Amino acid sequence: MAERLHTQNYINGEWCDAALGAVFPVDNPATKELIEEVADSTTTDVERAIDAAYDAFAFWSTTSPIERARLLHRWFCLIVEHTDVLANLMTRECGKPFVESKGEVAYGASFVEWFAEEAKRIYGDIIPAATPDRQLLVHKAPIGVCAAITPWNFPLAMITRKCAPALAAGCTVVVKPAEGTPLTALALAALAEQAGFPAGVFNVVCAAHGVEVGRVLSTHEKVRKLSFTGSTAVGKQLLKQSAETVKRVSMELGGNAPFIVFDDADLEQAIQGALASKYRNSGQTCVCANRFIVQDTVYEQFAERLKEATEALKVGNGLDAGIAIGPLINGAAVGKVSELVRCAINDGARALCGAQTHSAGDNFYMPTVLTEVSPSMAIASTEIFGPVSTLIRFTEEAEAIHIANATPFGLAAYFYTEDRHRMWRVADALDYGMIGVNEGIISTTLAPFGGQKQSGMGREGSMYGIDEYLELKYVCMGGMK
Number of Cβ within 10 Å of residue 462's Cβ equals 19
Tell me how far apart the alpha carbons of residues 213 and 215 are, in angstroms, rounded to a whole number: 5
* Cβ proximity of 273 and 439 under 8 Å: yes
* Cβ proximity of 360 and 394 under 8 Å: no
Q: Which residues contact 246 (CB under 8 A, 6 or more apart)?
A: none
Q: Which residues contact 374 (CB under 8 A, 6 or more apart)?
A: 347, 348, 380, 392
Q: Which residues are catalytic?
A: 252, 286
Phi-psi bin for 411: left (phi > 0), alpha (psi -120 to 50), beta?
A: alpha
Number of H helices, E strands in the chain: 14, 22
Phi-psi bin for 315: left (phi > 0), alpha (psi -120 to 50), beta?
A: beta
Dihedral Cα 200, 204, 206, 209, nearest 10 deg: 90
Tell me how far apart the alpha carbons of residues 160 and 187 are, in angstroms, rounded to a whole number: 12
Q: Which of these, 195, 197, 202, 203, lies nearest to 79 by C-alpha position?
A: 195
Tell me how far apart the alpha carbons of residues 272 and 280 are, in angstroms, rounded to a whole number: 12
Q: Which of these, 213, 206, 214, lies nearest to 189 by C-alpha position?
A: 206
Tell me how far apart the alpha carbons of residues 109 and 68 are, in angstroms, rounded to a whole number: 16
* Cβ proximity of 351 and 369 under 8 Å: yes
Longest CA pairwise span in the chain (Å): 82
Tell me how far apart the alpha carbons of residues 257 and 292 are, in angstroms, rounded to a whole number: 9
Q: Which of these, 415, 417, 442, lies nearest to 430 by C-alpha position?
A: 415
Tell me how far apart the alpha carbons of residues 108 and 80 are, in angstroms, rounded to a whole number: 10
